[in-house]
Amino acid sequence: MIRLHIVVEGETEKEFVDEILKPAFSERMIILDARCVATSRKGGRKHSGGGISRSYIRLKNDLMNWIKEDRKADARFSMMIDFYKLAPDFPGYKESRQQNTVQNKVKILEKRFFEEINDYRFIPYIQLHEFEALLFAEPEKFAIAYPNRQNKIQQLIKIRAQFESPEEINEGSTTAPSKRIKAILPEYEKRTAGPLIALEIGIEKLCEENSHFNEWIEKIKQLV
């Protein structure tokens, strides 16, 4: 058995791990759990979630603390954070900007962060471009959360058709996946609807449509 600890960007990603990934891997004897990265500390209390756009240090600290907490042989570690609005102090950030494709950019960032953590038990993963890209794997499934918005869902389907992969839906302030969804479906609630739609799509379709996400899933499978 392997225990995989995942530091995630926010509550939605935590629920995604708990509700979609954890059941998928339990049969393989890989037990997943997730923690939100601490984004601030006020009044002696830790506040979690909401992105790491200002600095990657809290992400690193949370990972290192968890690694120190669990030194057992069956423990492994990973992360799920967004490429969108990634902190400019992230290891390899400037180097990644010289790459021609987003896939190569992310690979540079993951490689440099792996070197920074310097622990063979760690599997870095940066989501292209953010969680909502996964939902574009099959936008028809938005109907599970918004059954009376078929006209709006058709607009999301048209957006998906413009890209070879959902992971290519870019990181602009108005064109990132979440921004496109909110522009069409203002009532979209990430934390409640996001995991529900992802669950309806299913992990096989998520992997089929998102190659970088699939690479991460395959690495996890290879832990046992």
Asked if the model's pLDDT at residue 85 lies above 50, the reply is yes
Asked if the model's pLDDT at residue 199 lies above 70, the reply is yes
In what helix (H) or strand (E) does residue 40 lie, and over which residues does it extend? Answer: strand 38-42
Single-letter code of the amino acid located at 24:
A
Asked if the model's pLDDT at residue 47 lies above 50, the reply is no
| pLDDT score of 71 | 96
How far, in whole angstroms, is CA 126 from its chain's centroid? 6
Interval 96-134: pLDDT, tens: 999 999 999 999 999 999 999 999 999 999 999 999 999
Mean pLDDT of 174-189: 96
- Residue ranges of domains in the chain: 2-130+207-221, 131-203
Give bridge partners of residue 36 from the DSSP assignment: 8
| pLDDT score of 43 | 41
Question: What span, in angstroms and rounded, lies between the C-alpha atoms of 126 and 124?
Answer: 7
Backbone torsion region of residue 141, taken as left when φ is above 0, otherwise alpha when ψ lies between -120 and 50, otherwise beta: alpha
Contact partners, residue 211, CB within 8 Å, separation at least 6: 103, 165, 167
CATH code for residues 2-130+207-221: 3.40.50
Asked if the model's pLDDT at residue 34 lies above 70, the reply is yes
Mean pLDDT of 19-26: 97
Give bridge partners of residue 2 from the DSSP assignment: 30
| pLDDT score of 52 | 66
Q: SS3 of 77, please? A: strand
| pLDDT score of 182 | 97
Q: SS3 of 73, please? A: coil
Look over the chain and give the mean of its residue pLDDT values, rounded to a whole number.
Answer: 93
DSSP state of 125: -
Backbone torsion region of residue 211, taken as left when φ is above 0, otherwise alpha when ψ lies between -120 and 50, otherwise beta: alpha
Asked if the model's pLDDT at residue 46 lies above 90, the reply is no
| pLDDT score of 98 | 96
Give bridge partners of residue 33 from the DSSP assignment: 5
| pLDDT score of 53 | 65
How many C-beta neighbours within 10 Å does residue 13 have? 28
| pLDDT score of 44 | 40
pTM for the whole structure? 0.93
Q: What's the pLDDT band for 42 if we cut at 50, 70, 90?
A: very low
Mean pLDDT of 19-41: 91
Question: What span, in angstroms and rounded, lies between the C-alpha atoms of 123 and 51?
Answer: 19
Asked if the model's pLDDT at residue 61 lies above 60, the reply is yes
Q: What's the pLDDT band for 51 if we cut at 50, 70, 90?
A: low
Q: What's the pLDDT band for 38 if we cut at 50, 70, 90?
A: confident
